[in-house]
A and B are shown apart, each in its own frame.
Chain A
């Protein structure tokens, strides 16, 4: 599985869009980009995934660059409850280890 690089931490104002970047320059053609988040002391929660095209669901949008070497998770209107650690994972199966993720703090 390809390695990912994420910023250690980010802040976002409540009600604004949170844009979380992820670099995965060694991604292979059949690897998907997955995003999960983990709110303190809970199990990780699946957010969204994509292969090539941009994806949107009720939680977030995923923008993948054309060369697939990076992606951005967008939370369109961040709330205090979105404060969590966000993990970007690149893989073809469900067997990979998570990195240390980005700690997103949403501030009032």
Chain B
């Protein structure tokens, strides 16, 4: 069984640029959630995708967008990067068919915006 993987591990971007982060979900999982974790804080929910459709969104502006593909992998796109977007971005997969919602997280992508 393959766990959740994310790429890249680290990324440095300049303010105003755009970035795409990628996530491969755990085998058998059909739901992917994205989180932003600033230093010293808990993960903040960005949005969730289920069967290629957005299925819930946290308090993040529209410049944060995503995609889910037929194989359940996912992308997080952030446009017009701001300095405050510097954070660890986490992807978590889960299976709604299981009836419970335990999530399995990837190692994260550390984004630095300068």
Contact = CB atoms under 8 A, between A and B. Distances in A.
Q: How large is the interface on B (under 10, 10 to 19, 20 to 34, 35 or more residues)?
A: 20 to 34
A52 interface: no
A93 B98 CA distance: 12
Interface in B1-52: 4, 31, 33, 35, 40-45, 48
Interface stretch (A60-68, A75-83, A96-104): A96-104
* Residue with the highest number of chain A CB atoms closer than 10 Å, among B45, B58, B100, B101: B101
Given A32-B101, A95-B33, A44 B45 contact: no
A34 to B, nearest CB: 7
B94 interface: yes
Q: How large is the interface on A (under 10, 10 to 19, 20 to 34, 35 or more residues)?
A: 20 to 34
A94 B94 contact: yes
B42 A99 contact: yes
17 contacts: A32-B100, A34-B101, A43-B108, A44-B92, A49-B102, A92-B101, A94-B31, A94-B101, A97-B58, A98-B35, A98-B43, A98-B44, A99-B42, A100-B40, A100-B41, A100-B42, A101-B42
Interface of B: 4, 31, 33, 35, 40-45, 48, 55-56, 58, 90, 92, 94, 100-108
Given A42-B108, A49-B100, A98-B43, 15 more contacts: A32-B101, A36-B103, A43-B107, A43-B108, A44-B92, A87-B42, A91-B101, A94-B33, A94-B92, A95-B55, A97-B35, A97-B42, A97-B45, A97-B58, A99-B42
